[in-house]
Amino acid sequence: MAVDRQEVPGLPLATATGARVPAVRRRAWFVLALLVCLMLVNFADKVVVGLSGVGMKRELGLDSSQFGVIQSSFFWLFAVGSVLGGWLGGKVRARWLLAGIAALWVLSLVPMAAQVGFTTIVACRVLLGFAEGPTVALAMQVAHSWFPAHRRSVPSSIVIAGAGAGPLIAAPVLTWVIETYSWHAAFGVLAAFGAVFAVLWLLGGDFGPEGARAGDHHVVATALPEHVPLRRLFSTGTLIGMALLFFVAYANTSVGVSWLPLYLRDGLGYDATTAGKLVVLPFLGAAVAVILVGVLSSALTRRGVGNRVTRGILPAAMVLASGVCTVAFSSLDRGVPQMTLLVISACLNSAGYGVAFAGLADVAPTGQRSTVFGIVTGIYSLGGVVAPLVIGRLADAGTSAAAGYGDGFLVLGFTMIIGAVAALLLVDPDRDAARLAAAS
């Protein structure tokens, strides 16, 4: 029977030829750098509406519920794009697929640089969400194709760190563009960067040598079937638990991207300049934390700690702690303690994304990895649909803006705690990989 060989810590496996190893390594890190740029632009596109929120609401006469619709509309076809992109990821070269996705980003951003109405904004955000839906899954698939399984935690985390760097860099730059010119100009800037990335990716990006084991030591092969029915894959505790974990974590992420700038200004009363600086802090902390956790997971793996701990318990525990911090800061007034808990919550929530994706790869055969990533991304994107709408409704329904936002974050925090506890109980990549191999 044909099998897909998944590596876990253990014994030596044959490596690529010595002459080829350095070239593969250099190309791998170059492609990884391009993927970081991809994620940077990807999340800058997400945060721009939140940064433009005050001016957009004033210009178009929108209330918080209508603005919540705009934020939520990004995710209406996000799941469709995720699943479709995941399916295409196994059939179309990454060079053409990701360049095409970037071209769709540009197409959706250009109209926003001119005068637009509510309906046009929603249509553009729906198109952008559809195009960006498969981005994380495809970026992970490409990154994993350049690195062996036991070394994927760090590259996965670096890719996710690019998502944190997007708002980190975009928030002050786009805030300056908005304050100096207009919120329309910010969308024009992002359209230009999207076009630049598309060209760079066409010149240097693509899938890696999936079977290459450059510098691969201390691994043993665990045989998975080349193909496992999706129903069987998604009945494993690992995929169910990871889907729940990603759902609640992404709900938190989408609220941060969509509502944090407005929460700081309307809910807590910070001015535009101060809010533009403060909004950077959660993304800065998250970008650093996600890499540190990837390094920690990799170090634990080298010491023989099982994947249940390094790629299951570790990210779930962090989301659980993030939920507790979210509940805590939701009831505090503006000040250093409140902002500190908000930043810690964002760091912990984002930190486990990379290693969690590595855990998904442990139970997904290589040929189905893009499909599995796409479906999981589609599932967790629903958190991005629901959370901004709920926050918008609660912000309007509160006795004050601060009270409404506080209620929203309280609900979000308890939801995260429930999802994280479920993941702690369900996720075990080693157990599920062994069961899939035994059933083949």
Task: Give pLDDT tens digits along the chain (440 positions).
Answer: 444 544 444 434 444 445 456 777 888 899 999 999 998 888 888 778 888 988 998 999 988 788 878 877 887 888 899 889 888 887 888 899 999 999 999 999 999 999 899 999 999 999 999 998 889 888 988 998 888 877 777 888 888 888 777 777 887 889 899 999 999 999 999 999 999 999 999 998 888 885 444 334 434 345 678 889 999 999 999 999 999 999 999 999 888 877 887 888 888 888 877 887 888 888 888 888 888 988 898 889 889 898 899 999 999 999 999 999 999 998 888 889 999 999 999 999 988 887 888 888 889 888 888 889 889 988 888 887 888 788 888 888 888 888 888 899 999 999 999 999 999 999 999 999 999 988 76
pTM above 0.85, yes or no: no
Tell me the two tokens of residue 394.
Answer: 């609660």
Q: At the top level of CATH, which class does the domain 21-208+224-439 belong to? A: mainly alpha
Tell me the backbone φ, ψ of residue 35, rounded to 5 degrees.
-65, -35
How many CB atoms lie under 10 A from the CB of residue 10?
13
Ranges of each domain in the chain: 21-208+224-439
Determine contact, residues 14/228, Cβ cutoff 8 Å. Answer: no
The sign of the torsion formed by the CA atoms of 4, 144, 126, 410 equals: positive
Tell me the two tokens of residue 117.
Answer: 């109405």
Distance CA 429, CA 420 (A): 16
- Residue 224: strand pairing partners: 4
**DSSP SS3 for 9:** strand
